[in-house]
Structure 1
Amino acid sequence: MAAKTMRKAEELVEKAMKGNDASHDDWHVWRVRDLALSIAREEGLSSSSDSMEIVELAALLHDIGDYKYLRDPSEEKLVETFLDEEGIEETKKTKILTIINGMGFKDELAGLALCESLPEFGIVQDADRLDAIGAIGIARCFTFGGSRNRVLHDPEIKPRTELTKEQYIKKEEQTTINHFHEKLLKLKKLMKTEAGRRRAEKRHKFMEEYLKEFYEEWEGST
């Protein structure tokens, strides 16, 4: 039953995310799923088949209905409808939806924290955030910025500080480079699991080194 449901979830991902740019495509989802399962095993959840199923389904379905890519309001209900059609028991369904609906950076800015009562939440969130940093994270950042016609860098536009949820999602003029300072460089400290923190160290350092080189080249000093 579980294997069949996972395959159907994969098919839903492929269909629902088909029109997205490469920063939030199905390859992103596969990476997050693999990272989440790996972290879950390191964090000792592999002894519970229910927990592993919650982690995998939440990881697979986490970007379906993402507000940044909504083409129709009905897409917001795709995940819940899928879980109902697959007969996922109510307790699991509630946990999966709780993870998906609360794991975004914008929700953390709003002061929402669910990890203590739901260990699967921290695992899936860490996996998603790990894919936002490091070499792949850099590539995704520029891909997304390009898809929205954002300015690459403008020294006159300073990164916003002390962001609120409303400011974060507001579509105001901003640069791709500033996104590193407003979000990506903050993610290492926001990891919820030990396994996530270990992985984040290397990826964070790579971003710092990249930005140092970027600014030097921008200024013509190298």
Structure 2
Amino acid sequence: MFQAKAFAPFEKLAAALVPHSSEGDDGSHDVAHVLRVFKNAMRIQAVEGGDARILAAAVLLHDCVAVEKNSPMRSKASALAAAKASAVLAKLGWASDDITAVAHAIVAHSFSANVTPETLEARILQDADRLDAIGMVGAGRCFYIGGRMSSALYDPFDPAGSNRELDDRCYVIDHFQTKLFKLADGFQTKAGRALAATRDQRLRDFLAAFMDEI
């Protein structure tokens, strides 16, 4: 059951926007993901500053268009989400400058879009979303997405990819090397980088334990 109070102090905004926040059945980009990113964003904003209302709206709508990870449209997902978010906020009577700010943060949050975040709110959203891709939650989401894509857990004869090209569409743990271990170096805010360092180490410890077991 949706509980707006989980998004305090933006309960009213969440009640209006959460019905638009996700679509489809992707459990790695559902309301639970939105709430985790919201908590990350508010934690960073408390240190870094920025317009919390703009940030909250951007968080709530950052994944409002669903595009599977293996879709050729994946790099367009954040732009599609920004367009939908703009329409939703316009219907709620938001000012055009505020809508533009939210839309930019949404477009720039995506790793695959490769758009530079130009505002503090955009930098915070990018950091908050990427925090959910590393650490233990990130590991769980990685395996979940691999299952959706029918990927194997690992290459049984060369799990570390020492003598082959890494392929994260075929093998889940290849994604740690091809993307997840690269994320911590790209965080935009000081507060985000501090949180990322802890989660990155957890992710590396997880993979080391996984490799030991196999």
TM range (shorter): 0.7 to 0.9
How many Å separate the matches in 1 of 2:85 and 2:128? 19
- 1:134-153 CA distance string (max 9 Å, x none): 01110111011111111111
Structure 1 vs Structure 2 CA RMSD: 2.2
1:201 partnered with 2:197: yes
Q: Is the 8 A contact 1:21 1:143 kept in 2?
A: no
Q: Is the 8 A contact 1:131 1:137 kept in 2?
A: yes
1:158 partnered with 2:165: yes
How many Å separate the matches in 1 of 2:169 and 2:176? 15
1:212 partnered with 2:200: no
Amino acid of the residue matched to residue 5 of structure 1?
L
Amino acid of the residue matched to residue 142 of structure 1?
F
- 1:17-73 CA distance string (max 9 Å, x none): 3x323211110001101110111111133xxxxx11110000110011143289xx9
Matches within 5 A, 1:1-222: 4-13=12-21, 16-17=22-23, 19-45=24-50, 51-68=51-68, 77-108=83-114, 112-114=115-117, 117-154=118-155, 155=158, 158-159=165-166, 173-218=169-214
Quote how far apart the aligned CAs of 1:3 are.
Answer: 5.2
How many Å separate the matches in 2 of 1:180 and 1:80? 34
Q: Is the 8 A contact 1:59 1:124 kept in 2?
A: yes
- How high is the TM-score relative to the length of structure 1? 0.78
Which stretch has the larger CA shift, 99-108 or 119-128? 99-108
- Which structure exhibits the higher relative contact order, with contacts defined as CA atoms closer than 8 Å and separated by 6 or more residues? 1
Alpha carbons of 1:55 and 1:217: their partners in 2 closer, same or farther (altered >3 Å)? same
Match of 2:113, SS state, is helix
Q: Is the 8 A contact 1:142 1:176 kept in 2?
A: yes
Q: Give ranges in structure 1 of 5+ residues lacking alignment.
A: 46-50, 161-171
How many Å separate the matches in 2 of 1:134 and 1:173? 21
**What count of residue pairs does the alignment treat as equivalent?**
190
How many Å separate the matches in 1 of 2:119 and 2:66? 22
- 1:94-151 CA distance string (max 9 Å, x none): 111111112211123xxx312xx31111101100000111011101110111111111
Amino acid of the residue matched to residue 9 of structure 1?
L
Q: Give ranges in structure 2 of 5+ residues lacking alignment.
A: 1-9, 72-76
Percent identity, please: 32
